[in-house]
Amino acid sequence: MELNKYQQEIFDLQRPVIEKFGKRTWGWTFFFLLWILVGGYALYLQIAEGHTVTGMRDNVVWGLYIANFIFFIGISYAGAVISGILHILKVEWRKPIIRIAEMITVISTIIGPIYILLCVGRLDRLHHLFLYPRLQSPITWDVFAIATYFTGSVIFLYLALIKDFAIYRDALLHIPKWKQKMYKVLAIGYRGTPSQKRHIKISTNLMAIMIVPLAIIVHSVLSWIFGMTLRPGWHSTIFGPYFVLAAIYSGTGVLIMAMWVYRKMYKLDSLLTDKHFVYLGYIMMALGAGYGYFTFSEYLTDWFSSERWNSEVIEKLFNPAKYGWWFLFANVAGIILPIFIVAFPKTRKPNWIALASFFMVIALWVKRYLIIVPTLETPLLPMQDTRMEYVKYSATWVEWALTFAGIASFFLFFTLFSKFIPIIPVSEFEDKENRNAPVGEPKMETKLVQA
Amino acid sequence: MDKLEEIQDSGRRGFLKTAAIATAITATCGSLACSCSSKKAAAPEKIKLLSPDGEIVEIDSTYLNHHETMAVLSQHEQRIGIPGKKFVMVVDLSRCKNARKCVTACQKHHYRPEETEWLTVKLMKDSDKAAPYWFPKQCFHCDNPPCVKVCPVDATFKRDDGLVLIDNERCIGCKFCMAACPYSTRVFNWDEPDMPFDIKSLAYNAETGVPAKVGTVEKCDFCPDRTREGLLPPCVEACPNGVFYFGDENEDTVTNGDETVSFSQLIKDRAAYRFMEDLGTKPRVYYLPPKDRQFPVERGYENLSDKLKDRFKDVMENNSK
């Protein structure tokens, strides 16, 4: 495959990333594997001894795991919606970031559902979901929605990758034989003929259009696991859109963080430019405002009408002795902080935006926890139980270990993927002459001319 | 006639005779059959039994074998329910003094440990000024059950006789039903349940909820195994004050063991209500309001162990102020 000058530039930038598996990478890999190993041991305990090793009990039947599940499926929106919508709108500057976004989607869609499996008491009976499926159960909706969504996002990612695999197949790289073979197989004979190009283009467009509604369905269905019950704080009609918006929002945050890390690690400043951070910052700000609006609307109605059970949950969220501080943090760091950081030109810088994203993503995780636990701690009948662990949920080390194992596997997947597939898609720029640098990035042009 | 296989076969002729006797045992004196079970005396003992023809016959006790009270039902029968029945329960709150006999009887019948309460007694206080009252609560076997709606594998199901039961060999333990039940009825086996070995090795029967299995959900089942034998659920039998009336809505009769009354008349005369009717779950359990109470509420508190007292302390203390 012929590369134009601009593509060659991007290719050369990423060459060492693909060719070398340096000491630092090994170090990180082992570090992540260690976490996963600890998580594996925790999982073994949970299977061998039963769910008694977790903090979950008859009142709070779900805990950290479900919060993690919502969280990971949420951040998967980075690729599905951000990259999908930007593709449909033909936004030029999306090109360097789509790969990262779609990788986030695929990886977190692998990890997310594992957490719902961790809530399942009988993993040996999972096939019952397919043997005896009942269509009226939101869990069945979830199984089908997530499976479809995962397949869709893998195809979406792969379609964009075929051309890159072809480039890497034909390039002279110092890589082991098996890796070359992999590129060859995965490129499925792509030679860049006009008909091949057309097919990929049409399929990618179709997938971009399909992935957006699919993603919306997935998170709506997920929110309905809660919305369909008769529980205070869950039984809300806006839960579908509220969850969807929160998901896109957190996905944007993770995308910004991933961009920041890659830019630092592999010195990709010329490709992941300040402009990208600012544009994504604007998107984040708009989503944050929308998310804030939903949050306000949800809690205002519950608080104002002050129905008995809703008030009990609200009281737990507002009371500093209970979840008050966490609720405050979730709203300050999750809504106000990102909006202000992007709003002021002084802080509208990559580092600041990445920092705001970091806090926002944590705040959104806390928010998910606050949706799950306080509601389950508020049953409609008085608990009148003397067993403290039944009255109040507190996660055990097993649950934390598996939580961190999930985060570690997210990073591990990313590390390994980035050693194999180009983080900045080389193929996306085949129509680009070097004089037409990406929109809004004059610096790039000068740099390339000098080169 | 499922029970035939549990009768020792001693030759063809003997078999036929025992079969007839077995039917008699089941129909008339199930408990006797149990008590004279398992142990086979060295010297054969003669036992008098009533045959289906109404004759008293005397048979050798060695012909009798241990007789499980739980019938061997097919999966399908367990899901369909007892034909023609529509089980209903009425709980008379004015009679409850938290004797907790129902709780222990239930635990004994289902081989559940002390902390697992399928049937629990709460101390309710509806508003600040209202008087507290004891509130026994089992599964409401709702006609519009939120738990059944959400089950992804049809492990919990609604039967034609009104009962909501669980197939714990199908249950995947996702606990969605527990989150969906607004009455906190369901309990989960967080670890390997501690049960007698011979119980553990039984085939699971949704009508008894026995044996319990780790990682699955369980709950009150209204004991249809007892109903099939013409007996009342253990909680109803055990209650010293006749709090629970159990019966069949189709027959329009309910009984607490001492008195049998018309169901529709009872709920009409005593202004029965269903708990949290506004949730739309349509429970099959009716409550008679705690009016003209037979016991002061303290009676149910004073004799409790400290551990149990702790549960109700807040409500009791608020009340005495």
Q: Is B274 on the interface with A (CB under 8 A)?
A: no
pLDDT at B18: 47
Find, in chain B, the residue whose alpha carbon is nearest to that of A60. B179
pLDDT surpasses 70 at B23? no
pLDDT, tens only, B279-290: 999 999 999 999
Average pLDDT in the A430-442 region? Answer: 52
pLDDT surpasses 70 at B31? no
Average pLDDT in the A215-244 region? Answer: 93
| Chain B contacts in chain A segment 215-234 (CB below 8 A) | 225, 228-231
Q: Is B184 on the interface with A (CB under 8 A)?
A: yes
pLDDT, tens only, B124-144: 999 888 899 999 999 999 999
pLDDT confidence of B7, banded at 50, 70, 90? very low
pLDDT confidence of B35, banded at 50, 70, 90? very low
pLDDT at A95: 87
| Chain B contacts in chain A segment 131-170 (CB below 8 A) | 131-134, 136-140, 143
pLDDT confidence of A447, banded at 50, 70, 90? very low
| Chain A contacts in chain B segment 101-130 (CB below 8 A) | 115, 120, 122-124
pLDDT at A432: 63
Q: Which residues of B touch A52 (CB under 8 A)?
A: 190-191
B149–A136 CB contact, under 8 Å: yes
pLDDT, tens only, A162-203: 999 999 898 878 888 888 899 999 999 898 899 999 999 999
What is the SS3 string spanning B219-277?
Answer: CCCCCHHHHHCCCCCHHHHHCCCCCEEEEECCCCEEECCCCEEEHHHHHHHCCCECCCH
pLDDT at A117: 92
Q: Is B279 on the interface with A (CB under 8 A)?
A: yes
Q: Alpha carbon of A240 to those of A113, A226, A235, A246, A362: distances in Å?
A: 19, 10, 11, 10, 21
pLDDT surpasses 90 at A327? yes
Q: Which long-range contacts (CB under 8 A, 24 or more apart) does B266-275 make?
A: B266/B90, B267/B90, B270/B92, B272/B90, B274/B140, B275/B137, B275/B140, B275/B183
- Residue B105, token pair as written in the block: 């009887």
B279–A126 CB contact, under 8 Å: no
pLDDT at A403: 96
pLDDT at B65: 58
Q: Alpha carbon of A373 to those of A145, A224, A234, A366, A376: distances in Å?
A: 25, 16, 11, 11, 5
pLDDT at B210: 87
pLDDT at A253: 95
B122–A382 CB contact, under 8 Å: yes
pLDDT surpasses 60 at A451? no
Q: Which residues of A touch B132 (CB under 8 A)?
A: none
pLDDT at A433: 55
Q: Give the one of B182, B191, B315 whose C-beta lies nearest to A49's C-beta.
A: B191
pLDDT surpasses 70 at A438? no
pLDDT, tens only, B92-124: 999 999 999 999 999 999 999 988 999 999 999
pLDDT at B43: 62
Mean pLDDT of chain B: 84
pLDDT, tens only, B183-200: 999 999 999 998 888 888
A121–B115 CB contact, under 8 Å: no
B182–A126 CB contact, under 8 Å: no
pLDDT confidence of A434, banded at 50, 70, 90? very low
Q: How far is B10 from chain A (nearest CA, A)?
A: 43
pLDDT confidence of A442, banded at 50, 70, 90? very low
Q: Give the one of B187, B215, B281 whose C-beta lies nearest to A50's C-beta.
A: B215
Q: Of A288, A300, A211, which Cα lies nearest the Cα of A256?
A: A288
Average pLDDT in the A436-444 region? Answer: 46
Q: Which residues of A touch B184 (CB under 8 A)?
A: 58-59, 379-381, 383
User: Which has the higher per-residue pLDDT, B19 or B226?
Assistant: B226
Q: Which residues of A touch B190 (CB under 8 A)?
A: 50-52, 56-57
Dist. CA A72–CA A115, nearest whole Å: 9
pLDDT at B73: 81
Q: Is B186 on the interface with A (CB under 8 A)?
A: yes
pLDDT surpasses 60 at A237? yes
Torsion of CA A387, A389, A392, A398, to 10 degrees: 180
Dist. CA B50–CA A155, nearest whole Å: 75
Q: How far is A296 from chain B (nearest CA, A)?
A: 25
pLDDT confidence of A441, banded at 50, 70, 90? very low
CB atoms within 10 A of CB A39: 23
Does the ipTM exceed 0.90?
no
pLDDT at A317: 95
Q: Which residues of A touch B178 (CB under 8 A)?
A: 58, 61
CB A368 within 8 A of CB A360: no
Q: Is A36 on the interface with B (CB under 8 A)?
A: no
pLDDT, tens only, B65-98: 555 444 578 888 889 999 999 999 999 999 999 9
pLDDT confidence of B29, banded at 50, 70, 90? very low
pLDDT confidence of A336, banded at 50, 70, 90? very high
Instruction: Write down the pTM of the prediction.
Output: 0.86
> For chain A, first and last CA: distance in Å?
22
Average pLDDT in the A281-289 region? Answer: 95
CB atoms within 10 A of CB B50: 15
Average pLDDT in the A42-55 region? Answer: 93
Q: Which residues of B touch A59 (CB under 8 A)?
A: 184
Instruction: For chain A, give the percent of residues with pLDDT over 70.
Output: 95
B276–A380 CB contact, under 8 Å: yes
Phi, psi of A97 (to 5 degrees): -105, -10
pLDDT at B49: 75
pLDDT at A218: 92
pLDDT surpasses 70 at B21? no
Q: Which residues of B touch A138 (CB under 8 A)?
A: 150, 176
pLDDT at B77: 87
Classify B114 as helix, strand or coil.
Answer: coil
pLDDT at A418: 87
Average pLDDT in the A83-107 region? Answer: 89
B178–A122 CB contact, under 8 Å: no
